[in-house]
């Protein structure tokens, strides 16, 4: 299944998905990387693994999405993984890929939608944190949950150390969720 990954930053999940796409019997191939900023470190994986990339600032959201939709069509992309993508896709975009866009979120949804999930978990003295892979719908971080992984918060944890711990689990969870969808 030809897949596009949308990123905005480091791209550790992207790198991990590329690795996953290359193992035997992987259901996906990564054929396109989209970023909303040329500063995204993760774009370097496009060069490293010879994957097509496209950058759009999304200054004009509608124009950006039209361009991306054309590109997805041209490249015959059938599945989209959001991985740290910091733009909200429009209702019409999501409808065109209904059920075919998934996202990874660093919390145990429905808890802590949106930003700063680790800060909120620490401030609220939660004992458990985690990550979720879910279907992308028109409501932010609210689509059907595919898989979740729980991470214990220790007394010593800061939002930074927690983010690290959760990210490690994200790298296991995202491929597992994709396997669950396609196998």
Q: Which residues have a catalytic role annotated?
A: 105
83 contacts ligand GRF (rule: CB under 6 A)? yes
Torsion of CA 131, 135, 138, 142, to 10 degrees: -40
Stretch that binds ligand GRF, among 7-15, 91-99, 139-147, 154-162 (CB under 6 A): 7-15
Of 19 and 66, CB closest to ligand GRF = 19
Burial of 4 (0-12, 13-18, 19+ CB in 10 A): buried
Q: Do the Cβ atoms of 3 and 81 come closer than 8 Å?
A: yes
Euclidean distance between CA atoms 138 and 143, whole angstroms: 8
Nearest residue (CB) to ligand GRF, 30 versus 104: 104
- Give every CB contact of residue 44 below 8 A, 6+ residues apart in sequence: 11
Query: Nearest distance from residue 103's CB to ligand GRF, in Å?
Result: 7
4 binds ligand GRF per the rule CB under 6 A? no
Residue matched to tokens 């030809």: 2
Name the segment binding ligand GRF (CB under 6 A); options: 2-10, 62-70, 88-96, 141-149. Answer: 2-10
Site for ligand GRF in 160-179 (CB under 6 A): 167, 170
Closest distance to ligand GRF from the beta carbon of 126 (Å) = 17
């Amino acid at each position: 299944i030809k897949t596009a990954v949308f990123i905005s930053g480091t791209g550790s999940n992207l790198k991990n998905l590329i690795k996953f796409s290359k193992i035997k019997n992987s259901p996906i191939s990564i054929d396109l990387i989209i970023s909303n900023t040329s500063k995204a470190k993760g774009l370097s994986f496009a060069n490293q693994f010879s994957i097509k990339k496209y950058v759009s600032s999304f200054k004009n959201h509608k124009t950006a999405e039209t361009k991306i939709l054309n590109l997805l069509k041209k490249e015959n992309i059938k599945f989209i993984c959001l991985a740290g993508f910091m733009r909200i896709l429009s209702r019409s975009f999501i409808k065109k890929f209904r059920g075919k866009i998934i996202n990874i979120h660093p919390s145990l949804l429905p808890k802590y939608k949106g930003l700063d999930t680790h800060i909120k978990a620490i401030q609220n003295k939660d004992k458990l944190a985690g990550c979720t892979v879910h279907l992308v719908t028109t409501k932010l971080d609210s689509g059907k949950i595919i898989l979740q992984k729980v991470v214990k918060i220790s007394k010593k944890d800061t939002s930074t150390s927690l983010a690290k711990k959760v990210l490690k689990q994200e790298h296991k969870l995202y491929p597992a969720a994709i396997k669950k969808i396609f196998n």
